[in-house]
Structure 1
Amino acid sequence: MNPVHHETRRGWLLPAYVGAVLAFLVLPVCLVVPMSVSETSYLKFPPTGFTLKWFGSYFDSPAWIAATVRSVSIGFWSALLATVLGTMTALALRRSTRLDRLIAGAFLSPQVVPVIIVALGIMLIYNRFHLYGSMVGIVMAHAILALPFVVVNVASALRQRGETLALAARVMGANPLQAFWYVTLPSLRASITTSAIFAFFVSFDELVVALFIMGRNETLPMRIWANVRDDLTPVVAAVASLLIFATVLAVLLSEWVLHRSGRAARTS
C-alpha cells in the first residue's frame, strides 16, 4: 500500500471522530428549538405547525418570570463573590510551592466530590445556622461551586504572564498596591471577565444544591425540573431555546474579550 495514500486515509479518522462527537453534543440542543414552536401541547419532533404561544406562556407566567429573575440575581451575586475570592486565591497561590499546590487542591474539592454530597453537607450546615431557603445561603453555595473554575482560569493566566511586568513596575518606583492595580490587574482583565461569565452560568444552571436548600423559592432550573416532572409542555423547550440564545451570546462575548486582550498584548 502506498504510504502517502495510507496516511491520507488515516488523516480522515480524527476529523470524522471530532465531527461525530460534535454532532452527538449539538444535535439534541438543535432539536429543542424547533420543538419550542410546535402547535402541539406536548413535546414533539418534528414539530407540527408554527406558533410562538409557548414563548408567550413563559413571559405571561408570574412563576416562570419570578424563577428567572431569582436565578439571574443569584447568578450575578454568586459570580461576583466567586470572581473576587477566586482571583484573590489565585494571586495568593501563585508561588506554586508544595503548600500552595496542596491548598489549591483543597479549593478544587467541590468539583471532585459528587455534587449531591456537597448539597447534603450544605443543607445540614444551613439548617443549623438558619440559612435554609435564603438568598444569602444559595449565593454562598453557588459561589463555592464556581470558585474552582475562577481559581484555575486566573492562576493559568498568572503563570502565562509571570511577574515580570509587576517587578518592572516595582523597580520603577511603584509600591505593591500600585503595581497590582495598574499592572497585574489589567493584565488579568480578560481572564477575570471570562471567569465571571463562566461562574454566572455555573450558578444559573445549577439544580441539585438549589433543590436541597431553596425550599419553595424556586430558581429557573428548579422550575424547569418541576415542569418536566409534573407537566411536560413546550414551554420548557421555549425556555431552553432562550437559554441557548443567551449562552451563545455569553460565549461570543467571552471570545471577543479574549481576542481583544490577545490583540492588545501583541500590539504592546
Structure 2
Amino acid sequence: MGSNPFRFLDKEIVAMEKLWKESKGCPSRRALRGLVKKLSKFPERAGNAIHVKQVQNWFTKKRYTLKKQGVDITGKKGQICTEKKKKKAVPKTLAVSDEKNDVKLQFEAKSSRDSAWYDVKLFLAHRMIENGDPEVRVRFDGYGAADDEWVNMRTSVRERSLPCEESDCVFVLPGDLTLCFKEGNEHALHFDANVLEVDRRRHDIRGCRCRFLVQYVHDGSKDVLPLRKVCRRPETKYRPRGANSFGDAIIARAKEEHVKVCDLSKALAL
C-alpha cells in the first residue's frame, strides 16, 4: 500500500517504559487503554491513532527480549510474567480452577482473536455448545480477566510446547509441526508452523547455528528461523529418549536431505 511501517515516537517509548516499571512488565488491560488514550493525544499522532494491540505487542516483545537475555520479570503476584504463548488431547477430567486455587497447568490455548498460542494460567469454567463440542474458559498466563476466552477443548487446547535446547536441533525434522515465535511490525507472538527444510550448520561458541525454513499455518507465510525461536511439540519427546531406536531413521533422513549433522553421534548418545 506504500505506507511506512508503524514506529513509536521517542516520547511514546518513554511513556511505555514508565508504565513498564510501574507495572513490573505486566500492565492491566485498563492501564494499557489509559496509556493509549494518553498517547493518542500527542499532536504528532493526529490522524494516525494508536491501537491497544500495538502497545500490548510492544510489552510482549520487550518481555521476550529480556527473557532471551536471561532476565527474570516478576509480575504483581510474584510470578514470572511471560508473553502469551502457546497443548494434544485434554484429560477427560479437567479440573476447573479459580483465583484462590491457582494451579499451574502445563497447557496452552489458541486465541480466536489472533490465532496465536498462549500459556494457560487457569481453567475457569467449562460448558457444552450446541454441536456437542466442549469448551473451557481460560485465563492466559500474564493476562487479566479482560482477556479471558472461551476456547474449544478439542481444537484449541493442548499440552504446552517445549522450548528447544541447543542439542535438540538434530531432532527437529522437515514435516514436523512446531510452535514458532513470529515477529512483525505490530505483533510478536507464537504460531503453529510446519518445518519445510533444515539447514544444518556446525555449532560454535554461540551455540546452535542451524536454520529452519518454516511455513506458518495461520497465514501461509514462510520464514527462516534460528533454533531459539522454535518450540517442539511434546509428541517428539520420544526422539532423544529413544535415540538408539530412532537414531538410524534420523541419520537416514539427514542423508536424504544431503546435510551434515554435526556431532550427531554425541547428540544420540544415551
- TM-score class, shorter: under 0.3
Q: When you count helix as a share of all residues, which structure comes out higher?
A: 1
Q: TM-score, normalised by structure 1?
A: 0.24
Q: TM-score, normalised by structure 2?
A: 0.24
Q: When you count strand as a share of all residues, which structure comes out higher?
A: 2
**Bigger CA radius of gyration:** 1
